[in-house]
Amino acid sequence: MIISIASGKGGTGKTLVATSLALALKDEHRVQLLDCDVEEPNDHIFLKPTFTTKQSVSVPIPSVDESKCTHCGKCAEVCAYHAIAVIIDKVLVFPELCHGCGACSYLCPEKAIDEVPEEVGIVEIGNAGGMSFAQGKLNVGEAMAPPVIRKVKEHIIPDAITIIDVSPGTSCPVIEAIRGSDFCLLVTEPTPFGLNDLVLAVEAVKKLGMPCGVVLNRAGIGDGKVADYCLRKNITLLRVIPLDTEIAALYSKGIPLVEGIPEWKDSFIQLFDKIEEIANERSSIAQRQGRNR
Ligand code: SF4
Ligand code: SF4
């Protein structure tokens, strides 16, 4: 089972939930945690993994042989990302915009474009307290997170409970990370910003046809509008974590909630049970609908 932990905005407690859920389950299940928040992976601060393998992630960037190029402009025409431009008698490549799709080299009539791998990040694989752990790290200044996320997800263990920590927001890296999950857990806080970004995140998850539920963190600040929204939209509010100085102090010291306050372990196990129930129910409905077609 694959569970993505996402949030419309940063700083809502996604890492707290991802690490505590994984730690709560690891004694009874085969569990792995994949940190796909590749611009700022920080689960390792809480889990202190030992890494055994490091893999480089690269994107094929076009390199133009000017001696063959006729400056026809075809490459710039086909590039959807404006990563290559032809200016009079010069072809300019902007590697930071290039998605490595290969369209320009494939369609160059003079076969003047070669592809040169350029490293955009790394993936580190190892273990953390009895569970498998992998994280992606995007190189500083790089914008192409999806290739790094795809590489991290190659390490998904099919018969394990896989928890994916997703970057905040609703952009391409988020969609890449949650795609293929059985369930998306959205972590938010009871503030106007929390609600605004939750609405956007719910819309993105629903477009993928994925079941989702909400964890409301720092309950006690703000108002009841997130809970009202969940009720209106029939989204299960799966867990409420209060605004609490002890929890905040543990987080600031890099101590997972279930280790600092072991009473929370049962709460996270129950959270998983509920997620499994919703995901299984959704999968049975999908199977029934498939049979009736
Ligand atoms: S498509 Fe090929 S020949 Fe035409 S401008 Fe681009 S690199 Fe040069
Ligand atoms: S590889 Fe794709 S994204 Fe990169 S320059 Fe060529 S067409 Fe554009």
Mean pLDDT by 10 residues, the chain (293 residues): 90 93 96 96 96 96 95 96 93 92 95 95 95 96 90 96 92 91 95 91 91 92 88 93 94 95 96 94 75 67
We report the CATH number of the domain holding residue 259 as 3.40.50.300
Ligand 1 atom nearest residue 107's Cα: 1
The reply to whether ligand 1 has any atom less than 6 angstroms from the CB of 63 is: no
Same domain for 184 and 279, yes or no, is yes
Binding site membership of 62 for ligand 2 (Cβ less than 6 Å):
yes
> Which pLDDT score, from 0 to 100, does residue 292 have?
66
- Domain co-membership, 210 together with 95: no
Domain shared by 75 and 106, yes or no? yes
Same domain? For 8 and 133 the reply is yes
Residue 205 sits in the same domain as residue 158: yes
Does 90 share its domain with 184? no
Say yes or no: 201 and 87 in one domain.
no
Q: 50 with 77, same domain?
A: no
Cα 77 versus chain centre, distance: 32
Q: Who's near 285: CB < 8 A, 6+ residues apart?
A: none
CA neighbor of 108 nearest in space, from 41, 63, 167, 161: 63
Cβ of 93 closer than 6 Å to ligand 1, yes or no, is no
Q: Which atom of ligand 1 is nearest to the CA of 76?
A: 6
> Considering the domain boundaries, does residue 119 fall inside one?
no
**Whether residue 221 sits in one domain with residue 81:** no
CA of 73 to the centre of ligand 1 (A): 6
| Residue 113 Cβ < 6 Å to ligand 1 | yes
pLDDT for position 287:
73
Q: Are residues 14 and 133 in the same domain?
A: yes
- State the burial class of residue 127 (Cβ atoms within 10 Å of its Cβ: 0-12, 13-18, 19+): middle
Is residue 209 in some structural domain? yes
Contact 53, 125 (CB under 8 A): yes
- What is d(CA 189, CA 55) in angstroms, rounded to the nearest whole number? 36
**Distance (Å, whole) CA 19 – CA 5:** 10
Q: What is the pTM of this model?
A: 0.89
Query: Domain end: 48, 76, 111, which one?
Result: 111
Q: What is the DSSP letter of 10?
A: T
Does 108 sit in the ligand 2 pocket, CB within 6 Å?
A: no
The two three-digit tokens of residue 147, written as one number: 């290739």
Q: What's the 208 CA to ligand 2 centre distance in angstroms?
A: 26
* Residue to mutate, 93, 101, 107, 118, ligand 2, most ligand atoms under 8 Å from C-beta: 101
Whether residues 168 and 243 share a domain: the answer is yes
Which residue, among 161, 140, 139, 168, has the nearest Cα to 151 in the 3D structure? 139
Closest CA to 226 of 254, 259, 193: 193
CATH (domain of 73): 3.30.70.20
Tens of pLDDT, residue by residue over 136-150, are 999 998 888 999 999
> Which two structure tokens, joined as six digits, stand for 195?
């609600």
Two structure tokens written together for 121 = 């990040």
Q: Which residues pair with 164 in a beta bridge?
A: 4, 34
Domain span holding position 96: 66-111
* Amino acid 288: pLDDT: 74
Q: Let me know if residue 95 belongs to a domain.
A: yes
Three-state DSSP at 281 gives helix
Residue 27 is predicted with a pLDDT of 93
78 Cα–ligand 2 center, Å: 8
Residue 81 lies in a domain: yes
**Chain centroid offset of residue 135 CA:** 11
89 and 234 belong to one structural domain:
no
Specify if 163 maps to a domain.
yes
Please report whether residue 268 resides in a domain.
yes
Structural domain total, the chain: 2
